[in-house]
Chains A and B, each alone.
Chain A
């Protein structure tokens, strides 16, 4: 097993600001991997998170169909964290992690926002909601992943956990 930790600093500030903390553990013998990053509250972070998740999912051996589902679920979750959770605040980060072992591929995304009432989300498939222009993100995440968990995190924001089984049921 190897353990590597990298701290990336911005080069445009007198006092280096931590942009991302990357912790990576790899255990190739057991086919497992863990990666964690703290991302800025920007839409570019959604691109970064999707790319990181897709790279890990490819290494884990998922095919094109599952890669599409994982990528989109991660993007939707990141957009929720950046836009609705942290509201693009430059003072708030999104904690993003990917881990997989021989049984499951797990992505966790946590924001530092105010939290929201996820127990009472409107059903986007209800006839009266079909023509709404928003409100489909979490529905799509649930559709694309094998498990989806959402909870209020210890820091007050919202944390979602996305799980795809290595061998889909």
Chain B
């Protein structure tokens, strides 16, 4: 399996459940298309649930950064939820952990949006 993206709405927050591999090719382009589509529809509050992500490479990290920048530049907020150890370690190594607003609890993450 490459990547599976499922979008749901919780109040005014769009939650994207991501499962599988975010690697160069199908995985990273699917994430990019989804996020750009959401921004295009005017969605400003986006929560990426990465709990079921099994693998992410440098291209996938680049897509997270790209998504963050795209959403922020459109006046919105993109936050991350449920990082597993692998993803968390990668974001820490690359010093991106403090760039993103990272949450471990969905309800708390939803409430944190302004």
Contact = CB atoms under 8 A, between A and B. Distances in A.
Interface in B39-62: 57-59, 61-62
Contacts of B94: 124-125, 136, 139-140
Query: What is the size category of the interface that chain B forms with chain A?
Result: 20 to 34
B87 to A, nearest CB: 12
Nearest to A127: B95
Contact of B58 (A43, A68, A76, A125): A76
| Majority DSSP secondary structure for residues of B touching A | helix
B65 A132 contact: yes
Given A43-B24, A76-B57, A124-B94, A131 B62 contact: no
B65 A133 contact: yes
A133 B57 contact: no
Interface string B81-114: 0000010001001111001000000000000000
A103 B107 CA distance: 49
A130 B93 CA distance: 12
Interface of A: 43, 46, 68, 72, 75-76, 79, 83, 124-125, 130-134, 136-137, 139-140, 143
